[in-house]
Amino acid sequence: MHTKIATSILSADFSCLKEQVKEAEKAGADLIHIDVMDGHFVPNITIGPAVVKSVKKITDLPLDVHLMIEHPEFYIDDFVSAGADWISVHLEACPHLHRTVHLVKSKPNVKVGVAVNPATALTNLVNVVDLLDFVLIMSVNPGFGGQEFITQSIGKIKFLKQMLKEKSSKAFIEVDGGITADNAKQVALAGADVLVAGNSVFGQENIGEALQKILKSLG
């Protein structure tokens, strides 16, 4: 599969979200990444199911909903009803991760992922990885857009790739945080299947051109 780009609306101008999402879609975005933050798990508050429902109406692209919240299990039904196609929960927010993963898996046509913070070891995933459609490696500390890519993430992506191979897992690898046209290729070569891009697309004056630049860098 070619490297996919999930454009994160966290850096979009919400007063014209429809136009901006359409622009990203037209320029070649594969997914729309929606960052849900609760002010507890991460020090920022963002989007809830109401916005997911509105975005669902304006695009046919799959909605990739990244839950940076405590007790994600309380909100899975709401996000699925709102139109989430992919849902990731954070390993650090789920003491009963196996149960939460199964809850998401019980929803028809929804892909389940587990997100892992920069300081969290991937070995903590070993007992659930067989169940997953994807693993999301955070390459910044979650909470804000526009942060710098943590270079140690490259080693982590390679480690995960190997771990998935050993487990004969078909799960794909999503990498989130600090992706730009300058590092996208390197991240993809390390093993990423999906790159999240927020500030480097929606934070730029010309959204379409900015996304094209990343796509071109991937070759």
Active-site positions read 35, 176
Contacts of ligand DX5 in 46-65 (CB under 6 A): none
Please state, in angstroms and rounded to a whole number, the distance separating the CA atoms of residues 91 and 81. Answer: 23
Structure tokens at 21: 């999402």
CB of residue 161 to ligand DX5, shortest distance in Å: 21
Closer residue to ligand DX5 in complex, CB, 6/129: 6
Phi and psi at residue 6, to the nearest 5°:
-105, 110
Per CB under 6 A, the segment of 79-87, 99-107, 118-126, 136-144 that binds ligand DX5 is 136-144
**Single-letter amino acid code for the residue at 80:** V
- The residues, any chain, with a CB within 8 Å of residue 33's CB and separated by 6 or more, are 6, 7, 8, 9, 10, 64, 66, 176, 196, 198
Per CB under 6 A, the segment of 20-28, 80-88, 106-114, 171-179 that binds ligand DX5 is 171-179
Please say whether the beta carbons of 193 and 31 come within 8 A: no
Q: What separation in angstroms does the CA of 177 have from each of 60, 101, 143, 153?
A: 24, 23, 10, 10
* Binding status of residue 204 toward ligand DX5 by CB under 6 A: no
Show the binding pattern over residues 12-41: x = contacts ligand DX5 (CB under 6 A), - = does not.
---------------------x-x------
* Binding status of residue 145 toward ligand DX5 by CB under 6 A: yes
Give the CA dihedral 143, 145, 151, 153, nearest 10 degrees: 50
- Footprint of Zn ion (CB under 5 A): 35, 66, 176
Neighbours of 34 (CB within 10 A): 26
Per CB under 6 A, the segment of 94-102, 144-152, 153-161, 181-189 that binds ligand DX5 is 144-152
Closer residue to Zn ion in complex, CB, 65/125: 65
Q: Which residues bind ligand DX5 (CB under 6 A)?
A: 8, 10-11, 33, 35, 66, 140, 142-147, 176-179, 196-200
